[in-house]
Amino acid sequence: MKLKRLLALGIASLVISTSVPSMASAATLSATNLVNTAKNYIGTPYRYGGTTTSGIDCSAYTQLVYKKSGSSLPRTTGQQYQQGKAVAKSNLSTGDLVFFNTSGKGISHVGIYIGSSKFIHASTSQGVTVSSLNDPYYWKSRYVGAKRPATFGEVAVASKPAPTVTYATRGQVAGIVVKTLGLHRTGSDMSFPDVNSKTPYYNEIMAAAEAGIFSGNNSGNFNPNDPLTRSQMAKVLTEAFNLSTSTDVPFKDVPSDYWALKYVGALYANDVTAGYTNGNFGVDDKVKLQDMQRFMDNLK
């Protein structure tokens, strides 16, 4: 259906335009800064007990890098190992501290994991350098474990940011539907107390209301910035695409006297949605802009 494809494209563009501007997350930036800071000291000579760039030992080095990155660590390797959350080798993330037994007497060496099975550390033989955790000749057999410092916490981990949830507002959906259907405002006597010429999607809201696709609430307000519920979406799609209605609804949360019964039934009868796996339709759940694409894809 041409209208379906156009509406789907409109939704996709709206999702992009209303999302948070593209940028690296604070977690990724912090981890990147940590690695960059750590690499600034490559070549610094090793000195047991040393704490400066004239000579530095392994735990003083990790402490320095974390300090430069805005966090703190205790001074010794043993103390650093006692802090933070234990992390499995298979779940290492940039910024985690990795520990080794190089003396045969327990934890004696520490470095900073930088990804790709590599870590940066103050080596007794080479000074600050990058090595492989899986070095079969030395480091692999001496690896003890890893910790994610509580002082750096989630900021140190280069994890993916939580997805931004963008809900479809009534005004946005009015704009998509009107543009897709090619509707135009006719100038009928339609008005809402909370909508004026400066309201985003003003003309589209008026056109959608004139076409009977949208209506106001009991107070006469349109509520253009309110998210749309699944029940309201059912009505919009039914009206916009002239779907055949039905009262044969299998969903547990849709009673026989529910106001949107026939609209929910229209989506079900036309295979637009089968509801949730728990048997509910989700009558009051807010519709995400991303979810609207799924509704459109299921329209026949």
> Do the Cβ atoms of 170 and 200 come closer than 8 Å?
no
CATH T-level assignment (fold) for domain 26-156: endopeptidase fold (from Nostoc punctiforme) (3.90.1720)
**What is the full DSSP assignment across 138-163?**
THHHHEEEEEE-TTTGGGGS-PPPPP
According to the model, what pLDDT value does residue 29 have?
43
According to the model, what pLDDT value does residue 59 have?
96
According to the model, what pLDDT value does residue 70 have?
82
Classify residue 120 by its DSSP letter: E
Determine the average pLDDT of the residues in 69-98: 92
Cα–Cα distance between 87 and 94 in angstroms, integer? 12
Determine the average pLDDT of the residues in 237-244: 89
Phi-psi region of 163 (alpha: psi -120 to 50; beta: other; left: phi over 0): beta
Q: Does residue 260 register a pLDDT over 60? A: yes
Determine the average pLDDT of the residues in 261-289: 90
Which has the higher per-residue pLDDT, 82 or 153? 82
According to the model, what pLDDT value does residue 289 have?
81
According to the model, what pLDDT value does residue 7 have?
53
Q: Torsions phi, psi of 289, nearest 5?
A: -60, -40
Write down the domain spans for the chain.
2-21+164-298, 26-156
According to the model, what pLDDT value does residue 154 have?
43
Determine the average pLDDT of the residues in 75-79: 94
pTM above 0.85, yes or no: no
Tally helices (H) and strands (E) across the chain.
10, 8
What are the start-end ranges of the H helices in the chain? 2-18, 26-39, 58-68, 77-81, 139-142, 170-181, 202-210, 230-241, 261-269, 289-298
Q: Which of 204, 243, 254 is nearest to 224 (CA)?
A: 204
Determine the average pLDDT of the residues in 272-286: 90
Bridge partner residues of 148 (DSSP)? 85
According to the model, what pLDDT value does residue 297 have?
72
Q: Catalytic residue numbers? A: 58, 109, 121
Q: Torsions phi, psi of 259, nearest 5?
A: -60, -30
222, two tokens: 């349109």
Determine the average pLDDT of the residues in 144-149: 93
Which has the higher per-residue pLDDT, 31 or 41? 41
Q: Model confidence at 21, in pLDDT bands (50, 70, 90)?
A: very low
Determine the average pLDDT of the residues in 161-188: 82
206-209 long-range contacts, Cβ below 8 Å, gap at least 24? Answer: 207/174, 207/178, 207/183, 208/174, 208/177, 208/178, 208/183
∠ CA 250-256-262 to the nearest 5 degrees? 75
> Do the Cβ atoms of 199 and 205 come closer than 8 Å?
yes
Q: Does residue 50 register a pLDDT over 90? A: yes
Across all residues in the chain, what is the average pLDDT? 85
According to the model, what pLDDT value does residue 241 have?
85
